[in-house]
Amino acid sequence: MEKRNNIVVIGGTACGPKAAARARRCDPQAQITVVEQGEDLSTATCGLPYYVSGVIDSQSDLVARRHDFFRGVMNMQVLTRTKAVAIDRKAHKVEIFSLETNRVSDIGYDKLILATGGIPVVPDLEERHLQGVFTLTKVKDANALRNLLSPPESRKAVIIGAGLIGLEMAEAFTSQGLEVTVVEALDWVLPTLLDSEVAAYIEKHLRRKGINLLLGQHVIGFEGDKNGWVRKVITEDTEVETSLVLLALGTRPNTSLAQNAELTLGSTGGIVVNQYLQTSDPDIYAGGDCVENVNRISQQKMLAPLGSTANKHGRVIGTNVTGGCETFAGVLGTAIAKVFDYNVARVGLSELQAREAGYDVVTSLVPSYDHAIYYPNGKEILVKLVAEKSNNRLLGGQVVGPGETAKRIDVLATALTFGAVVDDLANLDLAYAPPYSSAMDPLHNAANVIRNKQSGYAKALTPMEVKNKLENGEDFVFLDVRSPGEWETCRIEATQVRLLPLRELRAKLDELPKDREIVTFCQTSVRAYQAQRILNGAGFESIEFMDGSIAAWPYETSG
């Protein structure tokens, strides 16, 4: 009788169940065991912020597959409330500990799959053990928060970390009536995902929603009351009163089991795997949040703690542990999140990441609407593209705003996957009808701005570069070419600003100094670019327009 393939999976959240299910479909005779420390398999932890807010009402809604599916339909042994303690690679055994019976036993394997996920990053502060200090990686964390908020025991919350979970939870807490402060050590929100000028666009929205942002501030301690409940968060610059703290500093790979088994770990802290998702031991595979990935643009190693990546890993692993030969090419860092009324999406390299990786880049910053401007209920989006200057290869993009961003970021992800250049994006045959898009999609416009810059027609400064010039008191003309009505409604207050509507520009060229720098701006940069070309044609030499213009200006305005 032919020996059955004995597959053991450690970890039951995303990658593990996917690998197990794929392995079963590929090999109906395999013996498959799933070991999970928690009570459930296939828990949608990405939905935890929406469970805390009440958008998702029931804990059961977060469980994608029940035990009986894996046991009955998939014919697997499922060991929940069971912890994997150690791996004996030589004997091909895993030592496990039952949290219910306190018994230790061994499981043999032919192929072992590590899907141990990540563990929350917590600050090295003695007071982090105060009551009321939470992380959010498991359903039990979300239940603890829900129990605290309903009935409401807390009116103030501090979130430490302005990443995706931190901002999603800012909305969740606000929806429950809490006063929310977000503390971030770096200088802008979503610092590993967005460039600063795009993040500033989000920050403006967050402040309008009542979120107190403390950026560029490190937390140095907590202070509790006599009952041991957190009451203050202390930063280098200030103290914030609170009765609830959420640590949203991200996760790090859970690699203790792999490390103790002397599997190779990478510079990112994740388990090293090859293109087949094998570890340094060919009989042990690993995937999900515990492994490091290859960035498909820079080819550098990176972590990608996302359920989407974990599920892709699981399919590859399930194929390969049953005799297949499937590869995983890497990730683009694609991400999307809902931040109050804004949709925040990104893919590839940010401008900062691209420059740090050694690329010489050209960018565009284009405000637009998500469908034809004349069709009712259009919503704003802001698109930033990053391309390699020498060959116009697309490197990344960011799309944010209340409008439709998901389809744009997915188009960019597809383009990046196939190595597209800016010209390819500019000429993509995208679907067009007024309810869905404009005749020239915002992605087309963003690509064409880069083409204009590369051809020498367009010269631009970012809003932040212009802001620095204004604050430094530089001698230049900041030329607003909008209409007087637009000026009255919304304007930038600075001594360098001058209003000269585009329709009057040609008639009043002699009123402008040819020996001074002129930076043009309008609402979305279309008229500003036209003004730049008019001035260039009239012999003005030091002319730029402000990328994104008023729509991308994240600072205060008057009117």
Look at the chain and count its residues. Answer: 559
The pLDDT assigned to 1 comes to 47
pLDDT per position as a tens digit, 182-241: 999 999 999 999 999 999 999 999 999 999 999 999 999 999 999 999 999 999 999 999
**Three-state secondary-structure class, residue 215:** strand
- Residue 519 vs residues 21, 449, 499, 553: alpha-carbon distances, Å: 59, 17, 12, 14
Assign 148 a pLDDT band (cuts: 50, 70, 90). confident
- 84-111 confidence digits (pLDDT tens): 999 999 999 999 999 999 999 999 999 9
pLDDT above 50: residue 158: yes
Helix (H, G, I), strand (E, B) or coil at 191: coil
Q: Please say if 26 is a catalytic residue.
A: no
* Residue type (1 letter), 537: G
pLDDT at res. 43:
85
Question: Left, alpha or beta for 299 (phi > 0: left; psi -120 to 50: alpha)?
Answer: left
Active-site annotation holder among 15, 26, 46, 490: 46
CA distance 259 to 241: 40
Q: At what angle do helices 15-26 and 307-320 cross, to 10 degrees?
A: 30
* Residue 41: predicted pLDDT: 85
Name residue 98's beta-bridge partners.
Answer: 82
Instruction: List the one residue out of 26, 28, 113 whose CA is nearest residue 322.
Output: 26
Pairing type for strands 212-215 and 179-184 reads parallel
**Tokens for 222?**
């907590």
pLDDT in the model for residue 339: 97
d(CA 274, CA 327): 9
Q: Is the peptide bond before 435 cis (omega within 30 degrees of 0)?
A: no
Interatomic CA distance for residues 52 and 62, integer angstroms: 12
| E strand residue ranges, 278-339 | 284-286, 293-294, 301-302, 335-339
Predicted local confidence at residue 153, as pLDDT = 64
Residue 140's closest CA among 229, 40, 69?
40
Rounded to the nearest integer, the mean pLDDT of the chain is 95
CB atoms within 10 A of CB 510: 7
Binned at pLDDT 50, 70 and 90, residue 2 comes out as low
Per-residue pLDDT at 429 exceeds 60: yes
Q: How far apart are CA 309 and CA 293, in angstroms?
A: 10
Cα–Cα distance measured from residue 238 to residue 251, given in angstroms and rounded to the nearest whole number: 26
**Would you say residue 149 has pLDDT above 90?**
no
Q: Which domains does the chain have, with CATH numbers?
A: 6-43+62-117+252-320 (3.50.50.60), 126-249 (3.50.50.60), 341-455 (3.50.50.60), 460-552 (3.40.250.10)
Three-state DSSP state, 105: strand
Q: Cα–Cα distance between 508 and 504 in angstroms, integer?
A: 6
Report CA-CA distances (Å) from 496 to 453, 467, 504: 25, 11, 19
In 3D space, the residue among 4, 3, 7, 1 whose CA is nearest the CA of residue 319 turns out to be: 7
Rounded to whole angstroms, the maximal C-alpha distance in the chain is 95
235, 241 Cβ separation under 8 angstroms: no
Would you call 531 exposed, middle or buried from its count of C-beta atoms within 10 A (0-12, 13-18, 19+)? buried
- Measuring CA to CA, how many Å separate 80 from each of 31, 38, 77, 97, 361? 17, 6, 10, 11, 50
Buried residues in 352-365 as b, exposed as e (16+ CB within 10 A): ebbeeeebebbbbb
For residues 370-379, average pLDDT: 94
Note the pLDDT tens digit of each residue in 495-542: 999 999 999 999 999 999 999 999 999 999 999 999 999 999 999 999
Q: Which residues contact 492 (CB under 8 A, 6 or more apart)?
A: 478, 480, 521, 550, 553, 555, 557, 558
pTM assigned to the model: 0.94
Cα distance between residue 269 and residue 332, in whole Å: 19
Q: Taking phi first (over 0 means left), then psi (-120 to 50 degrees means alpha), and beta for anything else, what does residue 93 get?
A: beta
Query: Directed axis angle between helix 442-455 and helix 406-417, to 10°?
Result: 50
Residue type, 398: Q
Q: pLDDT tens digit string along 12-67?
A: 999 999 999 999 999 999 999 999 998 888 888 899 999 999 999 888 888 877 77
Half-sphere exposure of 149 (CA within 13 A, CB side): 24
